[in-house]
Structure formats: C-alpha cells, structure tokens
A and B are shown apart, each in its own frame.
Chain A
C-alpha cells in the first residue's frame, strides 16, 4: 500500500520563502553566559550591542517587567534591523514579536494612535487552553490526483486520505491547502498523524508499531507509536498563544446581518478593549490563562510625530505593555511635527525612558564575513580574490551596495558560463551599477545639465523631519 503515495519529489526541495535582506539571521549568536560569539547564527561583529540585546532578551523571557523600551541607534547599514530580527528569532514562535515601520501608522483610514494601540496589543500574547476538534489516526493511504497535463493552470489538485484507528476507518477528500501541508510534513502510509480541524494543521506523531517490521529505510530517530483507539474525531484541549488584538477582533465583529451595513474601518472600540482586559484578568485569576509579553519593534522611529511620542510615553506605563524596541539611523534632527531638534529625532522625555544600544560600523574582517554568509544564503560560489575585492568595495562604498553586487555578479558569471564568481565579474558589475558616492560625484559635475537646477534655493532644508 506504500506504493500509493504519489508525491512529487522534485517539488519538495523548492524553497517557499524568498531570500530577504535578513533571511540569514537565525538568532543573536550568544553563548549561555550571554557573551557574543564572533560569528554565529548569521550574526557578525557588534559584540556589545548583541550582548546588550541578549540581556534585554532574558528580561523579556522572564516576563515580569512590563513597559520597558530600548533604542537601537547607529549609522545606516550597521545591523540595527539584524539585531531586532535576531531577537525575534531567538524568542521563538510562541512569543509575539511585531515588526512595524514607523511610517506604517500614517493611514487615512485609521487613527495614528489606533494603529499604535493595535500594534501594542498584537505584541501581548495570552496563553490559553481551548477545546478543539482533532482527527487522530494512522494513515492507510494518501492518493493525490494531479490535473491532467494541458488542463488550465488554475485547476486544483484533488486527493483522498484514508485514516484508521483500531476500531474504524474513514476516507477524507482533501483540499489544495491540505495536500500542500501533507506533502510538506512528508506524511506517508503507516504514519500516525493528528489534524487540527479548524486550522488544518498537521502533526506527524510517529510511525505505527504495526509497521515496525517493514524493511523500510528509517533513521535512528524514527519514533514508534500505537495506533489510536476509538473514534477518529476527538475533542481535545490544546494550549495556544493568541494576541490581545486577535481577541479584540473576534469580539468586536458585528454579528449577523448587521455586519453587512457596518462600515468597517478596522478601529476597535475602547469599551471592547476594556471588556477583553477585564476578561483576561479574570482568566488569569482563575488560572485559566497567562500573559505572554512580547516585543514591539518599530523601525525608523524618527518617522513618528510628536503626538505618537506622547502616546508612547503613556502607553508604556500600562502594566499590559510589551517591551518596545525602536531603531533609528538619525543623529540630532528635528522631531516630526515640531520645530525642535532632539537627539535621534525623539523627544527628551521619551529618550529618558529608553535604554540605548548603539551599533558601530563594521570592520573589514567583519564585512568580509557578512559577505561570505550572504554568498552562502544566496547560493553564490565566490572566489577568494573576488570576495576580497567585494570587501574593499564594501568598505569604500557601503555594505548594502556590496551585498547587492553579489547576485548581480553571479548572474554575470553565469552568463559567461563560469562556475565561480571571479574578480572580472565583480569589476564588471561595479562599472554597470553606480554606488551612491559615484552617483553623487556625477551629479555634482553635471548638475547644470539636469532639470530645475536654475531655481535651487540656497537654504532649502531637505530633511524629512519637516511637517
């Protein structure tokens, strides 16, 4: 019956996630005593900043202290967002970690403070027991029919899954989503699996004991479990973490036909929030739930205006506040919405509440390391000489520019049917794509030939801190 598993093997190895700017980061790279390892989990250098972040992390894990705020300040391209990402990765999926850019909260549909409140409440989790319906059984057969070749691309796959317990057997029709997750979990005949009926999440518990004598190739960590008894569908209590915002949304939804007429702006009434807070407090007292404080990370925090800053001041005082991490690359600049200048574009009273971590520019060796890690992440083979040249470019121009050249150089290399990126490839892309410095130089030289140069105001202020 094992032959009935018809899954596409080539499809399994394709990566679903795209490669982002920080996808090589898997943690903060600290050891048990919170010392930063030189190169670990995708992090390079910034030893003090990482160590500081590690201290904050242990504070978050303890979960006792609410409403602390941390500012990560440093020049562009010194790993501020990387540190925040590292914190998120190190905290794991059970701790809520919300990332927003400060400019996200400026929307015509929603109040600034409402957007901030929602971000705050997204970052507070509630761990609660809920009863859900699960299907638990041993896989007898998985049958996936793919649409006939030549049929339209949109045609969905269909499939059947047969599950059994010691007492009964049921055939299920599978939807597209279910087929994907079955393939992802690599479930096959003889596995004991559970399916959460509401979310469709599949977990493979192990292999059935009845299959223990099959002459299958199996790893040393193959776990054997008993075939479940009784009915396939069971009600079971599961513990999961939901954010306060999710509970708000569930309870603020208009019921029934009224939902059709309610112009939903996404704003949630204060009364609903109060009710939820009260209910959560009740659950905590009864021991039904516990609070999982998370992290709210606001990137480019200088883009917030004075109203948001004063809101933050107040919001941090609530005992349900998460740990707030903000990052900025500005020096002394204008606070948005005022004419006052302040360090990092943040008012002094808020700055006073912040613990400040500063990042410093990378050294040559560190830049080389980062480029090497990025080469691995982007699946590019690069020669030593080319890497040295790229490092030099990185020092002269910027780390971001050097990172962007990696894939471009790889493409040039592929064009000339080379195996490894060499010095000429890097040289070629260096001439093809201009970095900021060269572009500025070019503009200064040929400024008069561009449009509007004649009305250049002498004291024009080009900072974005203006209203």
Chain B
C-alpha cells in the first residue's frame, strides 16, 4: 500500500472494523505503538485519530488525541487533579482542504490574540496579550512528510468565545490523503473476531 508508506512507516499492520456508524482503522506500527482512526461512515470525515505507545518499562501508555476530543471521564485515577472545565480547550478537526483547530472558552476580544508560524520549530504558536493562553501546535502529518509550515497558509477567526485556526493543506498532503482514502475504501472489511485475533497476542 503506497499510501500507507507515506503516512506510516513500513511494516505497519492494519485492521479495520465498522461499528457505531464509524469505520475504525487500527494501525500497529513496527515499534509496537498503535494508531486508531475513526471515520464517519456517511461523510467519510476523520472524526478521531488517537495514538498510544508503550512506556520504556513496557506499560501501556495513554491515548493521545491528535484529532477529535478525548472523552472526559472521571475515574479514580483522575482523583489527583484535572484542568477546570472553564479553561480554554483545544480540539483539532479535520477539514477536506485544511487542518482546523478550535479553541473553546476564550472569551477575550479579538485583538488579544496573535497566531503565528514558528519556522524554526515548525509549529503554530498562539499567544494572548493578556497572558492567559499560550499554545504551540504541532502538525504531525507535516512532520511525517518533512514539510515546512508557511505563514501564508495560516488563517484564523474568533467568534462565540472560540478561536478557529485553519492551515491550508499543501498539495503533498492532499495527494497522500487521497491515496490513503482509496486504500481504505478498497480494504476488505474484517469481522470483529478477525480483528480481535490479530490484536490480542496470547501470552
């Protein structure tokens, strides 16, 4: 699969299953880390992309959400501390032609914000003049293809206490995603048993 090579390293194993109106792709990378992508069956929109890798000692790490929102569950582990719900919250969404980030709970007026590209670290930087919010945003897809960020592709707006940032996808990303989509749609559907078999290594 040519498309896979572009987005994931060689030797990546893929399984997929459709449930709950979502087509779920599960990738196991050669270094044993996992990536799960969830696509809406009707619109083929990427709703969630999360990944996790094993810690040095071999324990299962936590899911890191690249796209979409982590479920806010209150478990015993969360007894320590968690960000207050009134804090700004960054969620990435996937648009056909652009990467989009929405930062909710930012009630300050528009002149407060400054969104720039940091060419050196290849990151988008969000600043506020009242020093309430600051974020460096990576675009893992761009890093994977070793593409540089450009100021011209960046745009942003602010409405309803939400800061919306968009970065136009360059040609290479669009091509890679198109290939990946073809591969995804032609891949045979696996039953849950088959998928489970491949994931659950018996001890």
Residues on A close to B: CB < 8 A? 128-131, 160-161, 164-178, 195, 197, 200, 230-231, 242, 246-247, 250-252, 254-256, 258, 269, 279
In the complex, which of the residues B58, B78, B83, B201 contacts A250, with contact meaning CB atoms closer than 8 Å? B58
- B26-84 residues at the A interface, CB under 8 angstroms: 55-60, 78-84
Across the interface, which residues of B come within 8 angstroms of A256, CB to CB? Answer: 199-200
7 A-B pairs within 8 Å (CB atoms) are namely: A161-B81, A167-B127, A168-B132, A200-B80, A250-B57, A251-B58, A255-B60
Contact B84–A169 (Cβ < 8 Å): no
- B84-98 residues at the A interface, CB under 8 angstroms: 84, 86-87
In the complex, which of the residues B56, B81, B83, B131 contacts A178, with contact meaning CB atoms closer than 8 Å? B81
* Stretch of B6-14, B133-141, B157-165, B178-186 on the interface side: B133-141
Across the interface, which residues of A come within 8 angstroms of B128, CB to CB? Answer: 168
Contact A130–B200 (Cβ < 8 Å): no
Secondary structure class of chain B's binding surface, majority of residues: loop
In the complex, which of the residues B81, B133, B134 contacts A172, with contact meaning CB atoms closer than 8 Å? B81
Q: With A and B bound together, what is the CA distance between A193 and B1 in angstroms?
A: 49
Across the interface, which residues of B come within 8 angstroms of A269, CB to CB? Answer: 203
How far, in Å, is B74 (CB) from chain A's closest CB?
A: 10
The answer to whether residues A167 and B131 also contact, given A195-B81, A231-B136, A251-B58 and a CB cut-off of 8 A, is: yes
Contact B87–A175 (Cβ < 8 Å): no
The answer to whether residues A230 and B131 also contact, given A161-B81, A175-B80 and a CB cut-off of 8 A, is: no
Contact B59–A178 (Cβ < 8 Å): no
Residues on B close to A: CB < 8 A? 55-60, 78-84, 86-87, 127-128, 131-136, 199-203
> Told that A168-B133, A171-B84 touch, could you supply 8 new A-B pairs with CB distance under 8 A?
A160-B84, A166-B131, A200-B81, A231-B135, A250-B57, A255-B201, A258-B200, A269-B203
Contact A170–B58 (Cβ < 8 Å): no
Contact A175–B81 (Cβ < 8 Å): yes
Residue of A nearest to B127 (CB): A167
In the complex, which of the residues A167, A171, A177, A231 contacts B87, with contact meaning CB atoms closer than 8 Å? A171
Which of A161, A167, A247, A252 is most buried by chain B, counting CB atoms within 10 A of its CB?
A167
How far, in Å, is B84 (CB) from chain A's closest CB?
A: 4
Q: With A and B bound together, what is the CA distance between A165 and B135 in angstroms?
A: 12
Which of B78, B134, B200 is most buried by chain A, counting CB atoms within 10 A of its CB?
B134
